[in-house]
Structure 1
Amino acid sequence: MRKTTDKSHRKPGHIVVRRAPGKATQAILQYGPLRLRAALGRSGIISSKREGDGATPRATMRLISGYRRGDRMGFLPTRLSMQRIRKDMLWCDAPNHPAYNRPVSAPFAASHETLMRVDRLYDVCIVLDWNVTCRRRGCGSAIFFHVARPGYPPTEGCVALSPADMRRLLPYLDDRTVLTVL
């Protein structure tokens, strides 16, 4: 049998995130044989996500693309499209603004997330397709797959891994990978 380099028939990866037993804001992330500890939103997992509720949406979301802090992370081996974060990069989280749940540039007057953070949360920040390709105002914005704080405290609704686990998982990710929160 001939080995092919055509990747068009490659099956997409599937990441499954399940709430950790007895911990509403922590999870076990599974990718193939890997089982990794993860942080979830401060309000746990919810089926009816709303802007500002602090919950992680119960959904299947495609990994769209990512951002990285080149000054902290350097080269990251991944097939996922990654953009180096600049100081002027923001993400609009103002439901009534036309750029809601979209990347924007500073200066920007409406409510937003700063991608170049002082903490390390967005050293690797992957955009999940929650309310991005089919956008509805007020249904949640900036739902990312990013780096967790030490001790895995709750996020604002994202899924987060330790820096070491994120580096371990990145080589397997691409724009066909999906993440399912159960």
Structure 2
Amino acid sequence: MRDRPHRGWQRAGPAVTVSLGRSGLAWGRGLHPPVGGAGREKREGDGRAPAGIFAITALFGYAAADSPFARVARLPYLCATPDLKAIDDPASAHYNRIVDQSAVAHPDWVSCEDMRRCDQRYAIGAVVAHNSDQPVPGAGSCIFLHVWADEGGATAGCTAMPLTDMTEIAGWLDGAAAPLLVQLPWTEYERLREAWGLPVFSAQG
């Protein structure tokens, strides 16, 4: 679904099956602070996807920067070259940032994720703004929407889906509409729905 100011939420398409973190969910750092006392909070390396509401801020993929897809993208597009790295080292000044390592004079990280992979998982994806404003070291990094490795296979903390669905979603994501990812267990969704201005809909559809 997408948010249309003053008109409420409107369905944009059919339900999409996704995979989440291998250890479930934990409260993330998004548009709302973590819900204190309501469960564990997202930590680096915990295998949990972040729960909450998060801005979607950029697209990435293997297509060239001057490709037809990149030219029509309505969010900033990052071409996944071998030098593009997602920094997951909490001690780094670049923690939870995607950087071109060729432009960094003195890399200060001991671990990172390659955005140009040998598989199709990052062939196309979107950046989820979890722990993004003044990142808290160790609170979780590099959360994406991306292509799943196999149907139903869990992730390390991202949200994954089939290539066709990820491609379609990336095509209609529009920065001018301030797209959001709402990701909550059903009971928490119902508990927070009114306070967070979320739509009413069936758990089955």
Please indicate, yes or no, whether the TM-score normalized by the shorter chain is above 0.5: yes
> Is 2:23 the counterpart of 1:46?
no
Q: CA RMSD in A?
A: 2.3
> Is 2:15 the counterpart of 1:35?
yes
What residue in structure 2 maps to residue 152 of structure 1?
Answer: 152
> Is 2:115 the counterpart of 1:135?
no
Paired residues, number: 155
Letter of the 1:63 counterpart: I
Write out per-residue CA displacement over residues 20-71 of structure 1, whole angstroms, 9 at most, x where no aligned residue.
xxxxxxxxxx963420000101111112100000100111010111111016
What's the TM-score once normalised by structure 1's chain length? 0.77
> Is 2:61 the counterpart of 1:59?
no
Determine which structure has the larger strand proportion and give its number: 1
Write out per-residue CA displacement over residues 129-158 of structure 1, whole angstroms, 9 at most, x where no aligned residue.
001123111000011111111213001100
Determine which structure has the larger helix proportion and give its number: 2
Letter of the 1:58 counterpart: A
Aligned counterparts, 1:34-113, within 5 A: 34-47=14-27, 48-70=41-63, 75-76=68-69, 78-106=73-101, 108=107, 109-113=109-113
Structure 1 residues 180 and 134: CA distance shift in structure 2, 3 A: farther
Q: Distance in 1 between matches of 2:179 and 2:53?
A: 10
Q: Distance in 2 between matches of 1:152 and 1:90?
A: 26
1:179 to 181, 185, 202: 181
Structure 1 residues 31 and 161: CA distance shift in structure 2, 3 A: farther
Q: Percent identity?
A: 31
Letter of the 2:121 counterpart: L
Structure 1 residues 69 and 31: CA distance shift in structure 2, 3 A: farther
Higher relative contact order structure (alpha carbons within 8 Å, sequence separation ≥ 6) = 1
Instruction: Answer with 98-107 or 156-165: which moved more.
Output: 98-107
What's the TM-score once normalised by structure 2's chain length? 0.69
